[in-house]
Structure 1
């Protein structure tokens, strides 16, 4: 198991990738601390893990990462419960307001920045001293393909994640001497509850079936399929594990090849 007996914090627990990250970490033997703003989402994630017949220790801490004091509380409770933090997977995000740049409500951009950059950094900086003290750790940022391939109406979200990408590179440089690895996964389309719900809404509004929408998206992906969110989660788990102990500052594209770096 890739994370056997490691203590892993996963932020942004919710239907889709958040649940899959927690489930996969549990399947790989981790001791979990999970957070989301809504306690019911944490309960649902715990139930999913128990339904998989896993007896993983699970610490649930409702947390808004945009509030520094709540980040401090999460980390303090994790240390109190487990004594260390081996990995942090930053999955919490705010999508911002979807609109063309020329029509942008910059308050929506600020809201996205508060979570996607400042909140993520606040939680990360709470974890760093503990990782230094224990001799190392792994931090994984869940980023987005939107920073690679711009999509109309997602500029605010993309800008906040692009800022996080820059901060991540600086963190990797500065924390490397302490054996703390900092890497990113760049997610594209992921098949799971959020995308399924979106496509169902589109089907009702436009009359184009979910299957036809999926096929249209898949045509632009070299693997010709929208990746499952559970498969995307595995990439983040890999970067959190000792299998990636020689990797830091990496930007791993997890999108079926829809973006091909060169």
Structure 2
């Protein structure tokens, strides 16, 4: 088990990757999964799904808006108070923002995206640092859009995530002497609730069958299929496991080969 006896914090619990990260952390033997989201109902759903696994993983639920420093501090303090430490921080919380282009975007609309994806993620990371012991790790959930320009119009989202990717290098350099690793995992298309909803909507709008649209997306992915959010979650959790003990400041692409640096 990759995360045996580890205390794992996962932010951004929701219907897609966030809850899968929490579930897979429990499946991989985490002692505790601390789940965080702005909505308490999402935390209740995550707890139920983790309990359904039949593991001995404890669950700590904490509502947290990462744009608010006091809520980030409260989350980190609750985890440390209950369990003494945080072994792994998985920063999954994000705001997508408008589907826009840099040449025409309302740049003021980027503020909320930046405040969550860049500054909020750094707020939560800073709050957790005092409770991260030597040998602990942080992983930032990032996006292929920060590395490969998509046709959909995600300029604000991509800009915020690209800034986060750069910040990872600074954190890795600064925290390395303390034995804390920091890495990124860049996700591409992931078959799960958000993408499934998007493809279903597109199918209705275009009158094209869902399977045809999925095949069109998969045609640009060397593995020949859209990776599931379960599999992408496993890639992210590998980066906070001891199997990645020699890896810091790195960016792992978990997108089926849709982007190759």
- Give the aligned partner of residue 95 of structure 1: 96
1:16-31 correspondence runs (5 A): 16-30=16-30, 31=32
Do residues 165 (structure 1) and 156 (structure 2) align?
Answer: no
Q: Gapped runs of 5+ residues in structure 2?
A: none
1:172-183 correspondence runs (5 A): 172-183=172-183
1:63-102 correspondence runs (5 A): 63-102=64-103
- CA RMSD of the aligned region, Å? 0.9
Aligned equivalents of 2:232, 2:175: Cα separation in 1: 26
- Give the aligned partner of residue 137 of structure 1: 136
Aligned equivalents of 2:260, 2:53: Cα separation in 1: 35
SS at match of 1:182: strand
- Give the aligned partner of residue 151 of structure 1: 150
- Give the aligned partner of residue 214 of structure 2: 214
Deviation at 1:215, TM superposition (A): 0.1
- Give the aligned partner of residue 57 of structure 2: 56
- Residue by residue over 1:29-88, the C-alpha shift from the partner in whole angstroms, topping out at 9 and shown as x without a partner, is 111111000110111111111122223100000100011110000001101111100010
Aligned equivalents of 1:101, 1:174: Cα separation in 2: 32
Q: Gapped runs of 5+ residues in structure 1?
A: none
- Residue by residue over 1:154-197, the C-alpha shift from the partner in whole angstroms, topping out at 9 and shown as x without a partner, is 00000000000111001111111111000110000000010000
Aligned equivalents of 2:148, 2:7: Cα separation in 1: 34
The answer to whether the 8 A contact 2:101-2:156 is kept is no
The answer to whether the 8 A contact 1:97-1:105 is kept is no
Higher mean C-alpha deviation, range 157-166 or range 146-155 = 146-155
Deviation at 1:105, TM superposition (A): 1.8
Q: How many residues align?
A: 259
SS at match of 2:137: strand
